[in-house]
A and B are shown apart, each in its own frame.
Chain A
Amino acid sequence: MRKEYGLAARDLVDTLRYSSIKRRDFLRFCGVTAGLLGLSEAYIPKIAHAIEKGTKRPPVVWLNFASDTGCTESLIKATYPNAADLVLDILSVDYNETIMAAAGQQVEEILQKSLKDGNYILVIEGGIPTKHGYGMIAGKDMMDIAKEFAPKAIAILAVGSCATHGGVPAANPNPSAIKGVSAVLGDAYKGKIVNLDLCPVNVEVLVAVIVNYLLFKKLPELDVYGRPKTFYGQLIHDNCERRAHFDAGRFVERFGTEEEALGYCLYKMGCKGPMTYAPCPKILYNDRISWCIKAGAPCIGCGEQGWTDKFAGFYERLPDVSIPGFKGVEFTADKIGLAAGVATAVGIAAHAIASSKRIKKGGEE
């Protein structure tokens, strides 16, 4: 049912992943990206063409609001392509306060020129304080800056949990009244904003969405939260490398034990994987060297909107409440959105029984 994760594309990703890539290889990057986007191999030369033959590198205005710069940090840790390729060859990063050479007045000049020229990809990192004075750059409220730059953007990428829904600084009691980009810009921008949840954003997802745009001149298909279905359409739990242990009832009961060394399931340690829709188990982090659960750390659900409060008590076991009709893979974020209130609880017990059948079938899909 989920075409985006077609078998060919997945194999391609796996092949590339395990072929011990030592050095940057442009076509391989294109292949990985094709895989991430669920495109066939036929698209690889098209991706290369879209990136290499562009007459003008697409301008990027990267605004940093109520954030901790963790997403800029993610960006510069990109591997395929690496940060130098992104900055020099693929994009024109015209505004990013963390890396730009200019300061003060010279920065303002750049910003005004970008605004005049328009047609930039607007990346917003960090949430937006809605109280006057609680987040300002050069005397302007961040909220006003967002509203000033949004209309002339060709696409708006809200990167990381703070930008999508406010993130940690918006946690109760939300002292700065921080909101996500979509909430501040309103319905007029529906479909124009891509929300890339996770704290911080996974840079492979960010790059793939940009490449997708260069290739098709449009944004990927989005779910009800404005997230690309390709990446946020499946539960961590359903793709987890420790899933077999969950199904077999083998759990880690204490950190640092033999059970952990054997890679048993972290559900009892508070893992939020059964409720979190995110691509972590498939693309990992940091040049795919690891991810939370691989390192023995239970998922804290940072890919879910409202995660800080929603999952507060990160080491508490998820409540044992069943949702009738819960069907794992088929139960997408869209339906969670419709199920609203009940979606905060998961039927682990029912799930365990249902899942033994489904996992076999799922593998063939």
Chain B
Amino acid sequence: MARLVIDPITRIEGHLKLEVEIEGGKVKDAWTSGTLFRGFEIILKGRDPRDAWHITQRICGVCPTSHGHTSSMSLEDSFKIKPPDNGRIIRNIIEACQFVHSHILWFYHLTALDYVDVVSALKAQPKEASLKKVQDRLKNFVNSGQLGPFANGYWGHPAYKLPADLNLVAVAHYLEALDMQAKASHLSALFGGKMPMTMTSPPGGTTLVPTVDILANYFSRVEELQKWVDSVFIPDVLAIAPYYLDYAKIGKGHGNYLAWGVFEDSSYDPKKRLLPRGIIMNSQLKAIDAKPEEVTEHVKHSWYTDSAPLNPMNGVTEPNFTEYDTNKKYTWAKAPRYQGKPMEVGALSRMLVAYTSGREKAVKLIDGTLKALNVAGKPEVLLSVLGRIAARTLETKLILDEMVNWGMQIAENIKNGKAAVYTDYKLPDSASGIGLWEAPRGALGHWNVIENKKLKNYQCVVPTTWNVCPRDDNGIRGPIEEALIGTPCVDAKRPVEILRVVHSFDPCLACTVHIIDPDTNEIHKFRVS
């Protein structure tokens, strides 16, 4: 039996270390661990509550907006206020731009290189002039001998299945997608001032007063992104997927899914959000409602003072470092649980909850895709690596289509004299509140307690903590650990199949808030013993 350590896992946000046990060419066991402690919850104590939404955005530079919005919602819960309708819609738009940006970046720049062989693209024989141009650029680049970010990839690995021509198309779109993800971010900045770190969504609503200029600019940019997603992103995924259909059976995990829901409805009911709140348990494709009081955090395998599982409202962040030991404590990530169960979060969870709740747009998109891949009527294939890829891709389209409607609603509201974007409030002496929302990577919750107009306690339960967490008090693996079981690994020195599973969760380690690298004298990134 071989133990394999991959550190660092790249093409993710932050520093993740993975240890796996391999037997007979397959993963038999897995442990996930992170490498950095920044202690945001400790920093937030005693601060002006109104600063929290700026500070928590700095938890993650990839999804700052989601933290900002969750923080403002959590405080609005404490202040007993809601933003006016146009404030609500503008926040939806800023959030949506970030989702579109994040999903494009994730597919093309973080995970695609696990499926697309860049070197093979050199052997393609393109007829189209534009592809020829990309290939020439690539050839010049390779001939320069300076391979930059493409150096030392697993090129030529037998697990790469695409024909050379398709590899070239994908490389061309990798470059094009760099522009498109930037454009989606620029759109966040149109309403948010700048991105990363949007500036306009404090508790109460938004500081931005929409103008005709902004809306006109918005519509033309959304249209450009829509066209690109419809004509490039979705076709790329549909073209690549048939070569990797075995990944519809790899990386399933526990089969438990949680979504707090995202994109606020005018009713402010989380069950009516564009992507609604809900859970799915034990692979039973039937959504039921989710409740924040069912969340607890376990610390038996994390470097915290041992305690019974706590709800985040009473949560403590009391570090207690001991050595790295996969049998005892091996990470600083706490282990969040819902009704004591590990839950996968992310686009797949959201789309499954929407699909099984009978949301028309989600049903149409998912059924259409299953049909295109010749698996009509078999949504269970989505509980896999391929399912996560499909969910993110389809969610991008679903969101972009809604963005047009939101823009129209803003204009309509202004016409009807409902132009308000901000609700004023008085800072309470004492209060407590919860904000539940979604980052592109999954369910995000902020819990705050205010005393003497200052933050007394602030806890965040973030998407990647759900996914990358260690075993819980009952010894049950975290979602990524579980999803890795059974993953093939034909060459332990080049474990591309393992990367596919890990990347399918789009881990974001800065988000994991309380993590540290326990490994002390480990210099070799691989340890095969």
Q: Which residues of A contact B (CB under 8 A)?
A: 56-57, 59, 64, 66-74, 76-79, 82-84, 87-88, 91-94, 96-110, 129, 133-140, 167-169, 171-176, 178, 199-200, 254-256, 260-261, 284-287, 289-298, 300, 302, 308, 312-316
Q: Which of B197-205, B280-288, B395-403 contacts A (4 or more CB under 8 A)?
A: B197-205
With both beta carbons as reference points, the residue of chain B lying nearest to A287 in the complex is identified as: B186
A283 to B: closest C-beta gap in Å: 11
Q: What are 18 of the A-B contact pairs (CB < 8 Å)? A: A64-B15, A68-B510, A72-B61, A88-B141, A88-B175, A94-B149, A97-B8, A104-B8, A133-B516, A138-B522, A139-B522, A169-B43, A174-B43, A200-B196, A200-B197, A285-B194, A295-B189, A315-B48
In whole angstroms, how far apart are the Cα atoms of A287 and B195 in the complex? Answer: 11
Across-interface contacts of B489 in A (CB, < 8 A): none
B361 to A: closest C-beta gap in Å: 29
With both beta carbons as reference points, the residue of chain A lying nearest to B517 in the complex is identified as: A136
> A138, B194: Cβ atoms under 8 Å?
no
Across-interface contacts of B185 in A (CB, < 8 A): 73, 77, 286
In whole angstroms, how far apart are the Cα atoms of A296 and B207 in the complex? Answer: 5
Across-interface contacts of A313 in B (CB, < 8 A): 48, 50-51
Per-residue A-contact encoding for B10-31, CB less than 8 Å = 1, 0 else? 1111110100000000000000
**Interchain CB contact (< 8 A) of A83 among B178, B321, B525:** B178
In whole angstroms, how far apart are the Cα atoms of A135 and B34 in the complex? Answer: 10
B424 to A: closest C-beta gap in Å: 6
Given contacts A67-B61, A69-B62, A315-B202, contact A103 B422 (CB under 8 A): no
Given contacts A84-B178, A138-B8, contact A292 B87 (CB under 8 A): no
> B51, A314: Cβ atoms under 8 Å?
yes
In whole angstroms, how far apart are the Cα atoms of A247 and B64 in the complex? Answer: 34
> A101, B113: Cβ atoms under 8 Å?
yes
With both beta carbons as reference points, the residue of chain B lying nearest to A70 in the complex is identified as: B61
B40 within 8 A of A: yes
> A100, B7: Cβ atoms under 8 Å?
no
B405 to A: closest C-beta gap in Å: 22
Given contacts A84-B178, A254-B422, contact A285 B11 (CB under 8 A): no
B124 within 8 A of A: no
Q: Which residues of B contact A (CB under 8 A)?
A: 5-15, 17, 35-40, 42-43, 47-48, 50-51, 54-55, 58-62, 64, 84, 87, 105, 109-110, 113, 118, 137, 141, 144, 146, 148-154, 175, 178-179, 181-182, 185-186, 188-197, 199-200, 202, 204-209, 211, 217, 321, 420-422, 424, 493-495, 499, 510, 516-526
A246 to B: closest C-beta gap in Å: 17
> B62, A73: Cβ atoms under 8 Å?
yes
Across-interface contacts of A78 in B (CB, < 8 A): 182
> B47, A312: Cβ atoms under 8 Å?
yes
Given contacts A96-B149, A173-B42, A286-B195, contact A108 B50 (CB under 8 A): no
With both beta carbons as reference points, the residue of chain A lying nearest to B196 in the complex is identified as: A70
A184 to B: closest C-beta gap in Å: 16
In whole angstroms, how far apart are the Cα atoms of A285 and B182 in the complex? Answer: 12
> B6, A256: Cβ atoms under 8 Å?
no
B309 to A: closest C-beta gap in Å: 23
Across-interface contacts of B141 in A (CB, < 8 A): 88
Across-interface contacts of B208 in A (CB, < 8 A): 295-297
Across-interface contacts of B11 in A (CB, < 8 A): 97-101, 103
**Interchain CB contact (< 8 A) of B151 among A77, A94, A178, A300:** A94
With both beta carbons as reference points, the residue of chain B lying nearest to A176 in the complex is identified as: B37
In whole angstroms, how far apart are the Cα atoms of A314 and B494 in the complex? Answer: 49
In whole angstroms, how far apart are the Cα atoms of A289 and B217 in the complex? Answer: 10
> A290, B194: Cβ atoms under 8 Å?
yes
Across-interface contacts of A59 in B (CB, < 8 A): 146
In whole angstroms, how far apart are the Cα atoms of A289 and B186 in the complex? Answer: 7
Further pairs besides A91-B148, A103-B8, A104-B6: 12, Cβ < 8 Å: A70-B60, A84-B175, A93-B149, A97-B10, A133-B518, A133-B520, A135-B35, A169-B39, A169-B43, A173-B43, A285-B193, A285-B194
In whole angstroms, how far apart are the Cα atoms of A69 and B18 in the complex? Answer: 20
With both beta carbons as reference points, the residue of chain A lying nearest to B13 in the complex is identified as: A69
> B195, A101: Cβ atoms under 8 Å?
no
In whole angstroms, how far apart are the Cα atoms of A74 and B144 in the complex? Answer: 27
In whole angstroms, how far apart are the Cα atoms of A68 and B512 in the complex? Answer: 10
**Interchain CB contact (< 8 A) of A107 among B14, B43, B152, B182:** B152
Across-interface contacts of A94 in B (CB, < 8 A): 146, 148-149, 151
> A254, B424: Cβ atoms under 8 Å?
yes
> B149, A100: Cβ atoms under 8 Å?
yes
**Interchain CB contact (< 8 A) of B207 among A92, A168, A255:** A255
Most buried by A among B144, B178, B190, B510: B178
Across-interface contacts of B61 in A (CB, < 8 A): 67-73, 200
Across-interface contacts of A84 in B (CB, < 8 A): 175, 178-179
Q: How many A-B residue pairs have CB under 8 A?
A: 304
Going nearest first, the 9 A-B pairs with the smallest beta carbon separation are A70-B61, A175-B39, A256-B422, A101-B153, A295-B193, A297-B199, A285-B194, A286-B189, A136-B517
> B38, A175: Cβ atoms under 8 Å?
yes
Across-interface contacts of A293 in B (CB, < 8 A): 193
In whole angstroms, how far apart are the Cα atoms of A286 and B519 in the complex? Answer: 39
> B178, A103: Cβ atoms under 8 Å?
no
With both beta carbons as reference points, the residue of chain A lying nearest to B185 in the complex is identified as: A77
Across-interface contacts of A260 in B (CB, < 8 A): 207, 209
In whole angstroms, how far apart are the Cα atoms of A68 and B60 in the complex? Answer: 5
B134 to A: closest C-beta gap in Å: 10
In whole angstroms, how far apart are the Cα atoms of A96 and B8 in the complex? Answer: 11
In whole angstroms, how far apart are the Cα atoms of A101 and B178 in the complex? Answer: 15
> A312, B51: Cβ atoms under 8 Å?
yes
A53 to B: closest C-beta gap in Å: 13
With both beta carbons as reference points, the residue of chain A lying nearest to B221 in the complex is identified as: A289
> A256, B209: Cβ atoms under 8 Å?
yes
In whole angstroms, how far apart are the Cα atoms of A57 and B145 in the complex? Answer: 10
> B189, A137: Cβ atoms under 8 Å?
no
> A135, B36: Cβ atoms under 8 Å?
yes
> B422, A69: Cβ atoms under 8 Å?
no
In whole angstroms, how far apart are the Cα atoms of A114 and B229 in the complex? Answer: 38
Across-interface contacts of B196 in A (CB, < 8 A): 70, 73-74, 200
A137 to B: closest C-beta gap in Å: 6
> A168, B525: Cβ atoms under 8 Å?
no
> B149, A285: Cβ atoms under 8 Å?
no
Across-interface contacts of A73 in B (CB, < 8 A): 61-62, 185, 196
> A137, B15: Cβ atoms under 8 Å?
yes
> B190, A290: Cβ atoms under 8 Å?
yes
**Interchain CB contact (< 8 A) of B146 among A92, A102, A169, A296:** A92
With both beta carbons as reference points, the residue of chain B lying nearest to A57 in the complex is identified as: B146
> B152, A167: Cβ atoms under 8 Å?
no
In whole angstroms, how far apart are the Cα atoms of A172 and B47 in the complex? Answer: 10
In whole angstroms, how far apart are the Cα atoms of A108 and B524 in the complex? Answer: 8
Across-interface contacts of B191 in A (CB, < 8 A): 295
> B58, A168: Cβ atoms under 8 Å?
yes
In whole angstroms, how far apart are the Cα atoms of A73 and B186 in the complex? Answer: 12
> A82, B179: Cβ atoms under 8 Å?
yes
In whole angstroms, how far apart are the Cα atoms of A67 and B64 in the complex? Answer: 12
In whole angstroms, how far apart are the Cα atoms of A27 and B110 in the complex? Answer: 31
Across-interface contacts of B110 in A (CB, < 8 A): 98
B57 to A: closest C-beta gap in Å: 8
**Interchain CB contact (< 8 A) of A296 among B194, B209, B420:** B209
Given contacts A69-B510, A137-B517, A290-B189, contact A308 B207 (CB under 8 A): no
Across-interface contacts of A72 in B (CB, < 8 A): 61
> A297, B178: Cβ atoms under 8 Å?
no
Across-interface contacts of B205 in A (CB, < 8 A): 255-256
Most buried by A among B36, B495, B510: B36
B366 to A: closest C-beta gap in Å: 30
> B424, A286: Cβ atoms under 8 Å?
no
Across-interface contacts of B199 in A (CB, < 8 A): 292, 295, 297, 300
With both beta carbons as reference points, the residue of chain A lying nearest to B56 in the complex is identified as: A168
Most buried by A among B12, B185, B211: B185
Given contacts A70-B64, A255-B204, A260-B207, contact A107 B8 (CB under 8 A): yes
Across-interface contacts of A108 in B (CB, < 8 A): 523-525
Across-interface contacts of A70 in B (CB, < 8 A): 58, 60-62, 64, 196-197
